[in-house]
Amino acid sequence: MEIASWSDFEKILLCAGTILRIEAFPEARKPAWKLWVDFGPYGVRKTSTQIRDLYWGTDLTGKRIADMINFAPKQAGSFTSEFLLTGFPTEHGVAITTLEREVPNGLNP
């Protein structure tokens, strides 16, 4: 395990957001969703994510999440992901990082 410095951590913009919209992503190689998330002052950003094992679209709308929004854009077919959805792999699929309490969209530590 490589140790990260404080300056490494300062490069990451981890922000609170609210999932606004979900769409199926049938063109993806593995089952995936397209998500649109409101990050307050950082705007609405989109990403594709392979979390269909644990989440249906209706489960996600309105969820409060914490994600890295200054990750380099990534192209997935005709769709560009604009942030990195954070989560933890489990034997049943990826469990996304959610917020326990209400905080403003765009808030970062």
Report the distance separating Cα 107 and Cα 56, nearest Å: 26
Residue-wise pLDDT for 30-41, tens only, equals 889 999 999 999
Q: What is the pLDDT of residue 48?
A: 96
pLDDT (average), residues 12-37: 95
What domains, with CATH codes, occur in the chain?
12-96 (2.40.50.140)
Q: What is the pLDDT of residue 71?
A: 92
